[in-house]
Amino acid sequence: QQQVKQSPQSLIVQKGGISIINCAYENTAFDYFPWYQQFPGKGPALLIAIRPDVSEKKEGRFTISFNKSAKQFSLHIMDSQPGDSATYFCAVGGYQKVTFGTGTKLQVIP
Amino acid sequence: DAGVTQSPTHLIKTRGQHVTLRCSPISGHKSVSWYQQVLGQGPQFIFQYYEKEERGRGNFPDRFSARQFPNYSSELNVNALLLGDSALYLCASSFGDSQETQYFGPGTRLLVL
């Protein structure tokens, strides 16, 4: 059973635009919701994470929006840049286990 | 400071062979987790070790095993390789036994022919 469903599978955004990636989960016991960024040939790197007690967290151009009742959370990348082109993974979990989504390949075109 | 290092970077094996992958965590980190990432998919959890003890195991067959050494480095062993084992194998380290703040290495790309 898939713990987290991520969409879209791929995304093309113009430079300066907003990139939005969505994830949905089922298990209400999850209490940790991170986003990872992976460049080709590299391992994933933690980008930003949120706990279910807040609805939004912002770090620079990256924002997580969290909707506990809908069991959904999303990553917003403001003022998207070509350097943001990468694969983004949402994940769900708790203290000792993190489960990843299937990934979204983002391409930011000039 | 060095990040998580993994060796080898690439590996080609044939079906039925055995493979050993190695990981050195960030200095001071005591936990190592292993993940398998098939092309186009997210990383799938295989094992976590903390203080040389297994703390978690994902849904992988017994052909997969791992261990952690006193210096906190780790090995992942896969026996009787199948074509479907072809993937990027990622190691992640963290200071404590939580997977929440973990740092990934660049991975070992395994191709099974």
Q: Does A95 touch chain B (CB under 8 A)?
A: yes
Contacts of A43 in chain B (CB under 8 A): 4, 90, 92, 104-107
pLDDT given at position A11: 97
Chain A hits for B97, CB-CB cut-off 8 Å, are 95-96
What is the average pLDDT value for chain A, to the nearest integer?
94
Q: What domain range is B106 assigned to?
A: 5-112
Tell me whether residues B43 and A93 touch, CB distance under 8 A: no
Q: Do residue B101 and residue A96 have CB atoms under 8 angstroms apart? A: no
Q: Say which residue, A17 or B100, is predicted with more confidence.
A: A17
The fraction of chain B above a pLDDT of 70, given in percent, is 99
Domain with A50 in it: 4-109
Residue A15 pairs with which residues in a beta bridge?
Answer: none
Does A87 contact B at CB distance below 8 Å?
no
pLDDT tens, B35-86? 999 998 999 999 999 999 999 999 999 999 999 999 999 999 999 999 999 9
CATH of the domain at B60: 2.60.40.10
Query: pLDDT at position B106, please?
Result: 96
Task: Quote the pLDDT of residue A96.
Answer: 73
Confidence of residue A37 (pLDDT cuts 50, 70, 90): very high
Question: How many domains are there within chain B?
Answer: 1
The pLDDT tens digits of the residues spanning A62-100 come to 999 999 999 999 999 999 999 999 999 999 987 778 899
Counting the structural domains of chain A, the total is 1
- For chain A, give the secondary structure using H, E and C: CCCEEEECCEEEEECCCCEEEEEEECCCCCCEEEEEEECCCCCCEEEEEECCCCCEEEECCEEEEEECCCCEEEEEECCCCHHHCEEEEEEEECCCCEEECCCEEEEEEC
CATH of the domain at A93: 2.60.40.10
Please report the pLDDT score of residue A3 as a whole number: 85
How far is the CA of A28 from the CAs of A89, A94, A102, B20, B58, in angstroms?
19, 11, 20, 37, 20
